[in-house]
Amino acid sequence: MSEGQLVDLNVQIILSKRPTLNYPAKEDVFQIKYVPPVPTDQVKEGQVVVRNLFISIDATNRIWISGIRTYMPPINPGDIMKGFAVSEVIFSKSPKFKAGDKVLGVTYWQKYSVLEAKTLTLLPPNQPNYENFLESTG
């Protein structure tokens, strides 16, 4: 992909409010938002644009949205949810990755994410089941 605009909308999962002890219904905690993706000409050196293929939902996600600070800052209401994912690089301004590479890392619960390349791990090419690299199966 060359520099310019991604064609389709970016679908995001946003934390609406923190769950309580009674754990509200799913429509109370998250909302879906449709936004234009970041134009690739705004991607900085050392960053990549990825399309998320598989996003893992782990027990740690519950801790991240609780407001407790752990090894990562908490996810606050209004923030895009985060999680571990297998993603495909679709645009790169990093010598570490090229378009088509599959990577593993913490990303956002959205279709497209702009990430620092240094936070990602390159996965072997041509794997039949990339989802196996995630926590629940890997």
For the chain, 138 residues long, give each residue's pLDDT as a single digit of tens. Answer: 555 556 678 999 999 988 877 665 556 788 999 999 888 889 999 999 999 999 988 888 888 898 888 888 899 999 999 999 999 999 999 999 999 999 999 999 999 999 999 999 999 988 777 787 776 554
Contact 13, 81 (CB under 8 A): yes
Amino acid letter, residue 62:
R
Give the structural domain span for 128. Answer: 10-133
Report the distance separating Cα 101 and Cα 97, nearest Å.
6
Position 37 in a domain: yes
> What is the CATH number for 83?
3.90.180.10
**Going by C-beta distance under 8 Å and a sequence separation of 6 or more, which residues neighbour residue 111?**
8, 9, 10, 11, 12, 37, 51, 52
Work out how many domains the chain is built from and give that number: 1
**Model-level pTM?**
0.83
Position 5 in a domain: no
Position 138 in a domain: no
Position 1 in a domain: no
Position 85 in a domain: yes
CA 70, chain centre distance (Å)? 19
